[in-house]
């Protein structure tokens, strides 16, 4: 290639760059929204982390070029709205599994929800502009990372919180690799999101300075860290388990004509096959959320029990389950429990419901109970009910009895079956809120019904469960109705799994817990401390360097 050819290519690239810059300045909101869509492609199931980081670098540059904090916040809002709408498309898929509302309302509900969720990226962009609008890429990126950590943490608890998905999820490797998320024990999830912003700032700096070697080197390091496999075997404990995925389709869950068939299916998968190796051994049996149509609590009006598989006797239902799991077993399973009282119409019945997990022993006795604390928006309750109810939306779960939240993380002491921390379904995505820190468990049980959530929901759900395992240094066992079920070790590596769309079980010994990580000791105070440090570096270091240069 001659010098003239290289000159022409350079001119074409310069012309393309100038065109993109003009477009981004003429259409700042649209440009930010497009970048938000691309960054969402870094999440499972697409796993396009490389293009997500490049788009995030361009987004930082786009916000840095804003003329005012309002312009920067608008770009942050447009980015967040598009980004979170695509990432949360699984909520819209859930509307196809109900008959109360037109399915198209799901594609209205998600963008409406994200109008609110996008406020947090807007705050991060606006704060970074006010604090560091004249800073160079790395200093600006440091301040932006600090603001992102704080605002993402706020999103996890304000108005009960909705943290799905954290930006740092793009840095998680595949099932057998930790990726850059291996630093979760020292950063926490929101700190990992800040690291994603810092990496993007590094890419932006390399592009801004036209340092091709730096850009290629940084890309190679990131790629190597993302694909580096876990080379060690999981440390094994001594608790045997049988984890069930019964393949109860969403269309069948609330069909009374299918209840007995569903129970027989889960029972056949659970039944132990006697061998010389397991003779006389105890085991922990794990069934998913929505596994049991029977009401196991005593004291309900008789009309409730008649709707279930075992007529009017919850004691017989419990005894039948005990006979399935065996005399030396403990079962953890999802159930729905009611609070019974006299209603305003004078009828005694359910006034509220609890999405719960109970522990049953081999005698069919309920020994422990836990009620879900974080309810699913649109699923178990309707957010912004006065607004969304007016346009015809309602919650997706069957029935009209309102679900109420439980008190929070709880540990079951199951004796020979260890100490189990319980997190039902989407509760597992709440970083720093999954463990009773006064009574640390040996493992986390995460029963779920992911049959609502299409192709995007289950892999993102599993990925976030892996992040909890790494943060807390605890194995996580996920039993789901339709998949993906998995056993995750304390390093976040998937050791056993059952794919979506099949019935099956996995058996083995629960991987051992690790010593409490730094995050396990300090919780979300840790990423907030990192945010403070990043803000100090971004705001103070440039001034310090300028002062030293002036003195010299």
Write out pLDDT tens, residues 404-431.
889 999 999 999 999 999 999 989 999 9
Q: Which two tokens stand for residue 431?
A: 């970083």
Question: What is the per-residue pLDDT for 28?
Answer: 86
Contact 215, 50 (CB under 8 A): no
Q: Which CATH class is domain 237-513?
A: alpha beta
Question: What is the per-residue pLDDT for 350?
Answer: 79
Question: What is the per-residue pLDDT for 296?
Answer: 87
Q: What are phi and psi of 323, to 5 degrees?
A: -70, -30
Question: What is the per-residue pLDDT for 48?
Answer: 94
Give the separation between CA 236 and CA 508, rounded to whole angstroms: 10
Band of residue 276 on the pLDDT scale cut at 50, 70, 90: very low
Cβ-proximal residues to 386 (8 Å cutoff; 6+ apart), any chain: none
Band of residue 12 on the pLDDT scale cut at 50, 70, 90: low
Question: What is the per-residue pLDDT for 105?
Answer: 74
pLDDT above 80: residue 211: no
With CA atoms as reference, report the closest residue to 360 among 403, 405, 314, 406: 314
pLDDT above 60: residue 153: yes
Boundaries of every domain in the chain: 3-230+525-551, 237-513
Question: What is the per-residue pLDDT for 310?
Answer: 57
With CA atoms as reference, report the closest residue to 466 among 496, 427, 492, 494: 492
Residue 97 DSSP class:
G
| Least confident range of 60-64, 276-280, 409-413 | 276-280
ω into residue 132 within 30 of 0, thus cis?
Answer: no
Residue 485 DSSP class:
E
Band of residue 552 on the pLDDT scale cut at 50, 70, 90: low
Question: What is the per-residue pLDDT for 479?
Answer: 97
Question: What is the per-residue pLDDT for 9?
Answer: 52
Summarize pLDDT for 484-520 with one digit per residue, the tens.
999 999 999 999 999 999 999 999 999 999 999 999 9
pLDDT above 80: residue 339: yes
Band of residue 63 on the pLDDT scale cut at 50, 70, 90: very high
| Least confident range of 6-20, 69-83, 167-181, 434-448 | 6-20
441 against 336, higher pLDDT: 441
């Amino acid at each position: 290639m001659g010098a003239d050819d290289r000159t022409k290519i350079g001119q074409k690239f310069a012309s393309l760059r100038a065109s993109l810059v003009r477009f981004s300045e003429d259409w700042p909101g649209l440009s930010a929204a497009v970048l938000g869509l691309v960054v969402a492609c870094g999440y499972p199931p697409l796993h396009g982390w490389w293009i997500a980081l490049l788009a995030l670098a361009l987004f930082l540059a786009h916000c840095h070029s804003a003329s005012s904090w309002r312009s920067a916040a608008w770009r942050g809002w447009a980015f967040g709205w598009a980004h979170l709408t695509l990432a949360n498309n699984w909520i819209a898929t859930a509307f196809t599994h109900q008959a109360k509302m037109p399915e198209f309302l799901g594609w209205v509900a998600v963008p409406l929800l994200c109008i609110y969720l996008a406020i947090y990226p807007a705050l991060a962009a606006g704060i970074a502009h006010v604090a560091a609008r004249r800073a160079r890429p790395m200093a600006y990126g440091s301040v932006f990372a600090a603001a992102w950590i704080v605002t993402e943490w706020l999103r996890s608890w304000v108005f009960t919180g909705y943290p799905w998905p954290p930006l740092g999820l793009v840095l998680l490797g595949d099932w057998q690799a930790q990726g850059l998320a291996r630093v979760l024990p020292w950063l926490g999830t929101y700190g990992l999101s800040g690291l994603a912003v810092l990496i993007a700032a590094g890419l932006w700096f390399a592009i801004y300075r036209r340092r091709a070697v730096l850009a290629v080197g940084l890309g190679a390091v990131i790629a190597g860290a993302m694909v580096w496999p876990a080379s060690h075997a999981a440390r094994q404990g001594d608790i045997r388990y049988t984890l069930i995925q019964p393949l109860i389709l969403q269309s069948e869950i609330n069909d009374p004509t299918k209840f007995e068939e569903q129970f027989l299916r889960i029972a056949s998968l659970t039944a132990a096959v006697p061998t010389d190796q397991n003779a006389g051994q105890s085991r922990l049996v794990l069934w998913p959320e929505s596994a049991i149509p029977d009401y196991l609590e005593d004291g309900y009006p008789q009309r409730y029990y008649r709707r279930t598989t075992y007529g009017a006797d919850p004691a017989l239902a419990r005894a039948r389950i005990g006979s399935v799991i065996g005399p030396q077993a403990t079962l953890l399973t999802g159930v729905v429990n009611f609070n019974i009282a006299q209603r305003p119409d004078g009828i005694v019945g359910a006034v509220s419901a609890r999405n719960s997990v109970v522990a049953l022993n081999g005698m069919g006795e309920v020994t422990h109970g836990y009620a879900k604390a974080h309810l699913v928006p649109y699923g178990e309750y309707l957010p912004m009910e006065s607004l969304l109810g007016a346009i015809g939306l309602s919650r997706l779960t069957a029935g009209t009895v309102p679900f109420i939240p439980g008190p929070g993380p709880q540990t079951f002491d199951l004796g020979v079956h260890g100490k189990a921390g319980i997190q039902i379904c989407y509760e597992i995505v709440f970083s720093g809120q999954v463990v009773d820190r006064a009574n640390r468990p040996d493992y986390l049980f995460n029963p779920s019904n992911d049959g609502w959530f299409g192709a995007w929901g289950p892999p993102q759900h599993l990925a976030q469960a892996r992040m909890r395992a790494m943060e807390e240094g605890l194995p996580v066992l996920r039993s789901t109705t339709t998949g993906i079920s998995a056993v995750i070790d304390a390093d976040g590596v998937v050791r056993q799994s059952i794919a979506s769309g099949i019935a099956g079980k996995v058996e083995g010994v629960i991987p051992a817990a690790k010593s409490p990580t730094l995050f396990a000791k300090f919780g979300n105070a840790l990423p907030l401390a990192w945010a403070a440090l990043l803000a100090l570096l971004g705001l103070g270091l440039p001034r310090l360097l300028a002062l030293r240069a002036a003195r010299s």
